[in-house]
Amino acid sequence: MGAAQALVMPSYAGLAIRDGPYNSTVVHPTNRRLTTKDNTFNSTFVTQSVQDAPAAPVTLALSNNLNGAGQINAYITGTDPTSGQVIFIKADGSVYQVPNPAQGEPTQQIDPASITIPLGAYGSVTNVVLSQYITSARVWFGVGDLWFGANYGDAGPGIAAPYVADPNDRSAGVNWGFAEFNWNAELFFANISYVDFVGLLVSLILTEQSGTVTKALGAPADGVNTVCQGLRTQHDTDGQPWDQLCVNDASGNLLRVISPAKLPSTDTGFANYWSAYVDQVYDSFASNPLTINTKTAAGDLTGTYNAGSGNLEFPGYSYAKPNAFDIWGCADGPYFQPPDDTARALVASLCAAFQRTTYLINGGNVQPNGVTDMSQYYAADPTNHYSKVVHAAEVDGRGYAFPYDDVVPDGGQDVAGTVAAADAQTLLLSVGAPPA
């Protein structure tokens, strides 16, 4: 990586605890709010507010498949595409408009009675019928109550949501998880995601009006334990702080496993994790240029390492060497806010190849199509062992484990855990375990 670059993460006190021979992270919920771009969903101004209503509704079938748990609650957040306002969907399918606090007021708790959807007992299904389009949506599930707040915004309120990277978050002691979906006139799209963490598990089964069924089953009932144990085993192998990704409550019970990008610790054990590999990769592109299929109008673009600038240079685009934090999150440093579709495609392939450690193997200078054997993903070190262990634990090997996990070679197997249809009828969300 050349000159060392600091890995900057949020600083908290007293997080790592001994858990047998391992250091686990422990949560201490408080009333303090850490507000970041990652846990706040903002309203926006829209210039066109007229849209046709859906021809038919979509039902979200919320299935309680977690035996022996307490009360499971669901919450549905998203954006109304006609107004740009962040909203909640209530149990009857109607919209709850979040009040915008006065400017300068602290975060205001959103009335739980207005937004909570209590699930029935184990084995039951709670149906929520959507009759309007909703974008950038999430269905949140918690064993107990999750805390949502409202922040003032010029265009409308922002929603402050649970945040796994803050061990002092108000919801930190709750076992929770979510699935994501987006519904517009062209498509209903949903996915499971372990990009940030593996927690309360959610599986998806999408049924179209034609009867066609697609599934993204994700991790099994014991997925959190399996992933934590896999990372502890990796810690035993290489001494890296993989064990700290396991998060316990104050009583020592395993709650979730967070990704390296969300590790809330002053321990910079991962700071130089990728350094030597990044140097090797960039040096290789001085004599063996990297070609990326952007899958855009730009087609294939070829980049060469310029030792003078220290950057990997493509026509019109240039990327400095990423540090560990840049690689884990795929959204900072040289990967921050790509300006257009071509840049987004370049960043996606650049980051995916680091996560999977595919640059220096045969065909690795052509991304993503040069490495078609997906068994070669994560086969060398350093690699994203969190992603590797998560995919190994999944029932069907599918479910985003880092932000650009949907990057695959042409004709390659989807590992992102997505389901989509133009004529969606029902999305079954099974909480706690995939359906039998």
Q: Pick the residue with more confidence: 205 or 436?
A: 205
Same domain, 91 and 72: yes
pLDDT number for residue 49:
52
Same domain, 399 and 316: no
Asked if the structure places residue 12 within a domain, the reply is: no
Tokens representing 345 are: 């495609």
Domain count, the chain: 2
Tokens representing 361 are: 């193997």
List, for residues 162-215, the tens digit of each pLDDT value: 999 999 999 999 999 999 999 999 999 999 999 999 999 999 999 999 999 999
Query: Using CA atoms, how far apart are residues 426 and 209, in angstroms rounded to an integer?
Result: 8
Query: Highest mean pLDDT range out of 11-20, 39-48, 335-344?
Result: 335-344
The residue whose two tokens read 């334990």 is 225
pLDDT number for residue 24:
76
Same domain, 244 and 337: no
Same domain, 374 and 260: no
Say if residues 428 and 205 touch (Cβ distance below 8 Å).
yes
Which pLDDT band holds residue 399 (cuts at 50, 70, 90)?
very high
Phi, psi for 130 (deg, rounded to 5) = -90, 125
CATH number at residue 364: 3.30.920.50
Query: Using CA atoms, how far apart are residues 340 and 394, in angstroms rounded to an integer?
Result: 33
Same domain, 418 and 335: no
| Residue 348 domain boundaries | 275-381
Burial class (CB in 10 A: 0-12, 13-18, 19+), 317: buried
Same domain, 313 and 394: no
Long-range contacts of 278-284 (CB under 8 A, 24+ apart): 278/1, 278/321, 278/322, 278/327, 278/354, 279/1, 279/2, 279/321, 280/360, 281/354, 281/359, 281/360, 282/312, 282/321, 284/359, 284/360, 284/365
List, for residues 33-79, the tens digit of each pLDDT value: 555 555 556 655 554 555 678 989 999 999 999 998 899 999 999 99
Query: What's the pTM value of the predicted model, to 2 decimals?
Result: 0.89
The residue whose two tokens read 């996606």 is 348
